[in-house]
């Protein structure tokens, strides 16, 4: 607590130094002179320490000293617990770790300013503080930081209308897929969580964030990565028709045969992109199931839902059924040494992966470095770590899905929430 008290004292000093209080006498004098009072200066990481920025943002957002104090205490407690877990990688001082987590949390809050989003104490606790702890620990352990998809399921901001449509389309498509799988006597099913995360990971998130003009005309391959759509839709024709009937889509007219060749006839609507992802997810899970059976390994239905997601995602990205050791290492988020070694061993054939071994990842962040850019690359394990991290984060830090991977009812604005907005 001594460290916390010191940080808070430092924060108060910095706030006072940057935005000195206006006394009552001074306020009256300025008002009498007809000069409007200037708004207090908003602190940013460019002109104030992270502790001061964090406290100022929390106060502006919540305006509730008790809640603000609880969140600061949570950050300190979480950093101590994380330090104890990181000992297996390398010793790190609590002060250094707390300083970097404070910076990362402050950066997260700052990035949301002016977006009109609603954040209450609970959401800040889970989706900012808990998430940043999770992100740092996952990056150290795997070399890959998890994707963050919270904002695509909160029905806020400029993507809100599409988020409602995403959820509706995922529900309908998954329902149709599972009805068909039951008719086919398949032992596995698909979940709405699998469909949503796969759609976002394969390109939906980029379209929602950066290219909304394309959301009503989505290329199946270039837009959302459905490379095998021609074969998949042809082999699963009855499923395509069943999904179309349930979801009100027209997937059956997207691919056509012309002169003996399968050609793309038109682009997807937004709902069709989600529904098409669901159909292709069934296709990939069937391939994964056949590969498991051929190897005499446990089928999908007998495995936890997140493990099914990992196995099928690896097949989705590479066509390969990975060894159980790799699957379980990925699922436990502990493949940093594996990926770093893979990158070195493969550099004669492929570009180096943007990953570091655990000790180097920890040293980078503790030294004040930023997470590296991690764009698309050639490794299926690398890619699936990104999306599996998002899958886990959605389960841990939101109420979007239940334990069976089903979307819950539409979220409502949290009580007492306040919008993050620019001063």
Q: Is residue 150 part of a domain?
A: no
Start-to-end Cα distance in the chain: 32
Give the model's pLDDT for residue 411.
44
Q: Do residues 130 and 164 both lie within one domain?
A: no
Residue 177, pLDDT score: 98
Q: Residue 70: is its pLDDT beyond 60?
A: yes
| Integer Cα distance of 289 and 311 in angstroms | 9
pLDDT interval class at 26 (50, 70, 90): very low
Neighbours of 45 (CB within 10 A): 14
Question: Residue 40 domain-assigned?
Answer: no
Say what the pLDDT of residue 245 is: 98
Are both 312 and 236 inside the same structural domain? yes
Same domain, 179 and 297: yes
- The answer, yes or no, to whether residue 423 has pLDDT greater than 90, is no
Per-residue model confidence (pLDDT) at position 41: 60
- Indicate if 66 and 210 belong to the same structural domain: no
In a domain, 35, yes or no: no
Domain that holds residue 246: 157-406
- Say if residue 167 is in the same domain as residue 303: yes
Tell me the pLDDT tens digit for each residue of 214-252.
999 999 999 999 999 999 999 999 999 999 999 999 999
d(CA 177, CA 17): 61
Mean predicted confidence (pLDDT) in 9-36: 37
Same domain? 132 vs 167: no
Question: Is the same domain home to 107 and 9?
Answer: yes
pLDDT above 70: percentage of residues in the chain: 87
Query: What are the pLDDT digits (tens) for 135-158?
Result: 999 999 999 999 999 999 999 989
Clarify whether residues 268 and 162 are in a common domain: yes
Residue 321's CB: how many other CB atoms inside 10 A?
Answer: 18
Quick one: average pLDDT of 31-36? 38
Total of domains in the chain: 2
Q: Which range is least confidently modeled, 43-57, 166-180, 341-355?
A: 43-57
pTM of the model: 0.86
Considering 142, 170, 189, which residue would you say is the last residue of a domain?
142
Distances (CA, A) of 290 to 213, 257, 293, 319: 39, 28, 5, 12
How large is the average pLDDT for residues 284-307?
Answer: 97
Whether residue 373 is found in the same domain as residue 307: yes
**Percentage of residues in the chain with pLDDT exceeding 90?**
80
Q: How confident is the model at residue 23 (pLDDT cuts 50, 70, 90)?
A: very low
């Amino acid at each position: 607590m001594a460290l916390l008290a010191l940080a808070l004292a430092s924060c108060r000093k910095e706030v006072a130094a940057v935005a000195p209080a206006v006394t009552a006498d001074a306020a009256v004098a300025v008002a009498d002179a007809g000069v409007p009072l200037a708004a207090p200066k908003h602190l940013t990481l460019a002109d104030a320490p992270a502790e001061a920025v964090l406290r100022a943002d929390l106060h502006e957002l919540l305006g509730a000293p008790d809640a603000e104090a609880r969140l600061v205490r949570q950050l300190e407690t979480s950093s101590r617990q994380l330090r104890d877990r990181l000992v297996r990688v390398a010793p790190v001082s609590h002060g250094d770790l707390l300083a970097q987590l404070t910076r990362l949390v402050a950066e997260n809050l700052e990035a949301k300013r002016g977006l009109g989003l609603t954040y209450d104490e609970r959401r800040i606790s889970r989706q900012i503080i808990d998430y940043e702890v999770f992100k740092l620990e996952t990056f150290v352990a795997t070399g890959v930081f998890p994707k963050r998809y919270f904002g695509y399921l909160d029905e806020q901001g400029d993507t809100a209308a599409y988020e409602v449509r995403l959820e509706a389309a995922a529900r309908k498509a998954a329902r149709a897929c599972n009805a068909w799988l039951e008719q086919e006597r398949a032992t596995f099913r698909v979940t709405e969580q699998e469909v949503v995360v796969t759609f976002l990971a394969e390109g939906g998130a980029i379209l929602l964030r950066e290219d909304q003009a394309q959301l009503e005309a989505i290329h199946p391959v270039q837009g959302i990565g459905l490379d095998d759509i021609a074969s998949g839709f042809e082999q699963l024709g009855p499923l395509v028709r069943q999904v179309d009937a349930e979801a009100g889509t027209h997937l059956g007219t997207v691919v056509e045969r012309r002169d003996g060749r399968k050609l793309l006839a038109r682009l997807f609507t937004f709902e069709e992109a989600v529904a098409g992802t669901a159909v292709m997810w069934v296709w990939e899970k069937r391939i994964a199931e056949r590969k498991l059976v051929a190897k005499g390994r446990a089928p999908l239905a007998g495995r936890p839902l997140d493990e099914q997601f990992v196995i099928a995602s690896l097949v989705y990205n590479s066509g390969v059924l990975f060894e159980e050791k790799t699957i379980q290492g990925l699922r436990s988020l502990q493949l940093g040494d594996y990926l770093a070694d893979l990158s070195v061993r493969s550099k004669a054939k492929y570009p180096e992966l943007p990953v570091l071994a655990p000790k180097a990842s920890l040293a980078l962040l503790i030294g004040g470095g930023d997470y590296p850019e991690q764009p698309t690359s050639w490794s299926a394990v690398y890619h699936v770590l990104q999306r599996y991290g998002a899958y886990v984060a959605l389960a841990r830090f939101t109420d979007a899905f239940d334990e069976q991977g089903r979307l819950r009812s539409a979220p409502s604005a949290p009580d007492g929430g306040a919008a993050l907005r620019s001063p």
